[in-house]
Amino acid sequence: MPERRFLLSLSRAPYGHLDGQEGLDLALVLAAFGQNVTVALLDDGVYHLTRGQDSSALGLKPYTRQLPALGDFDIRELIVDRAALQARGLSASQLQAVTHEDDDFNEHDSLLLLEGAALAEKLATFDIHFGF
Amino acid sequence: MNYAILVSAAPFSTQGAHNAINFCEAAIDAGHRIARVFFYQDGVHNASALACPPQDEPPLTPRWQALHTTHGTDLVVCIAAAQRRGLLDEDEARRHDKPAANLAGHFRLSGLGQLAEAAIEADRVVAFHA
């Protein structure tokens, strides 16, 4: 059976809902099963990657710290909707860096900022999409 | 065709769980196979043995159980999502020193790997959200 390409999209802000945390858990398990996994941050999901988060006052686990470590799980692509960033007054400079190593241990940027038709075209390339 | 189903919707709160069971029954009637239904997020509440909806709101749990007993569908509930929300089988209740178990019959608790495996093997994956 050919390898399937999975897309895990997070569209809600972290902490307000558990969706992001449970979605990321699924992404990591699929990666552990050797699947090709891409994570996409859409709509309010872009808040997952903002710098300077502190969830301690909420009494909630700072699970968004998993995102910069996605490369350790061999998840090499993190798509961010650039239009969603702009609509929320955010810019790429306010996002945490996310990198991965290729098979020769060279480090690469995992972030892929896309918007509009290019984003839609990219999202349509995956075999299975789990939205959270 | 062999389908894997993901149910993330709680019963009654939204239409998601009704849509899911309606889809599963219709797919089987049409000759397809539902190898596994995976209950995740608030969808784990579909596996509660303690739900008592009013008489004029037909319960969903027996319809899920019928999928298992009549068609062999594997009804898997995410163990991490279930524990978080207070849904335990006898073993887990004992292990966590809780006074009761409430997982309905014909459902079983297991890990997210069961969803990954089903998604890898199925011809189609259909998700039902809140």
Taking residue B6's Cβ as centre, other Cβ atoms within 10 Å add up to: 24
**CA B68, B72, B73, B74: dihedral to nearest 10 degrees?**
90
CATH number, span A5-131: 3.40.1260.10
CA–chain centroid gap for A18, Å, is 15
Please give the Cα distance from A110 to A130 (Å, whole number): 20
φ/ψ of A40, rounded to 5, equals -125, 135
For residue A120, give every residue at least 6 positions away whose Cβ sits within 8 Å of its Cβ, in sequence order, or none.
none
**Overall average pLDDT of the A82-105 stretch:** 96
B116/A33 touch (CB, cutoff 8 Å), yes or no: yes
Q: What percent of chain A has pLDDT over 90?
A: 97
Q: Band of the pLDDT at A3, cuts 50, 70, 90?
A: confident
Looking at domain B2-128, which CATH architecture does it have? 3-Layer(aba) Sandwich (3.40)
B41/A19 touch (CB, cutoff 8 Å), yes or no: yes
Select from B6, B116, B121 the Cβ nearest to the Cβ of A29.
B116
Under 8 Å between Cβ of A110 and A71: yes
Supply the pLDDT for residue A107. 96
**Overall average pLDDT of the B26-42 stretch:** 98
**Overall average pLDDT of the B4-20 stretch:** 96
Distance set, CA B90 to CA A35, B42, B60, B101 (Å): 33, 20, 22, 5
CA angle at residue B43 from A22 to B65, to 5 degrees? Answer: 140
Q: What percent of chain B has pLDDT over 90?
A: 99
For residue A5, give every residue at least 6 positions away whose Cβ sits within 8 Å of its Cβ, in sequence order, or none.
A35, A36, A38, A125, A126, A127, A128
Q: Where exactly are the structural domains of chain B?
A: 2-128
Supply the pLDDT for residue A19. 96
ipTM of this predicted structure: 0.94
Supply the pLDDT for residue A131. 97
Which residues of B lie inside 8 Å of A (Cβ-Cβ)?
6, 40-41, 80-81, 111-113, 115-117, 119-121, 125, 127, 129
Supply the pLDDT for residue B130. 83
Q: Where exactly are the structural domains of chain A?
A: 5-131
pLDDT digits (tens, 9 = 90+) for B57-114: 999 999 999 999 999 999 999 999 999 999 999 999 999 999 999 999 999 999 999 9
Examine the pLDDT at A2 and tell me if it is beyond 70: no
Examine the pLDDT at A120 and tell me if it is beyond 90: yes
B113/A29 touch (CB, cutoff 8 Å), yes or no: yes
Is B78 in the active site?
yes
| Residues in chain B closer than 8 A to A32 (CB atoms) | 113, 116
